[in-house]
């Protein structure tokens, strides 16, 4: 099966911090936010929200425009798993690498 030119991978930032006894999470590149009662829950929720957002903009035909506007680069080869974790004062930062499939193939999973 020949790969579509839109197949590839993106890398986005996931940021989590504690606020009022909850953990707030965001993907700043895509302006997506979520939360959770624990760091793990907030991380799972922001991953899910980010993938849902990417699927939605794909369905609306806006993925290419939004990625371009937000300088999100499409990698045609899977980047090495480099879950660089940076902990700052009251803040947890990591990356999400996810496959961005051809238009007719919904995103199924995150690395």
The residue range of the domain holding 73 is 15-100
pLDDT at 61: 92
Residue 52 in domain? yes
pLDDT at 86: 60
Positions in the chain whose pLDDT score sits under 50 = 1-5, 105-106, 108-111
Regarding pTM above 0.85, the answer is no
Residue 109 in domain? no
Please tell me whether residue 104 adopts helix, strand or coil conformation: coil
pLDDT at 6: 56
User: Domain tally for the chain?
Assistant: 1
Determine the Cα–Cα distance for residues 24 and 67; give it in Å rounded to an integer.
24
Contacts (Cβ under 8 Å, ≥6 apart) of 27: 12, 13, 14, 15, 33, 46, 49, 50, 53, 96
pLDDT at 83: 56
pLDDT at 92: 81
């Amino acid at each position: 099966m020949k790969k579509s030119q839109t197949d590839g991978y993106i890398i986005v930032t996931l940021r989590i911090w504690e606020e009022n006894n909850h953990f707030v999470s965001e993907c700043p590149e895509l302006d997506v936010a979520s939360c959770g009662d624990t760091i793990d829950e907030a991380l799972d929720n922001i991953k899910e929200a980010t993938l849902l957002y990417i699927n939605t903009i794909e369905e609306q035909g806006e993925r290419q425009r939004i990625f371009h506007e937000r300088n999100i680069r499409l990698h045609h080869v899977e980047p090495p798993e480099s879950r660089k974790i940076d902990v700052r004062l009251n803040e947890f930062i990591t990356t999400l690498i996810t496959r961005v499939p051809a238009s007719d193939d919904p995103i199924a999973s995150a690395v």
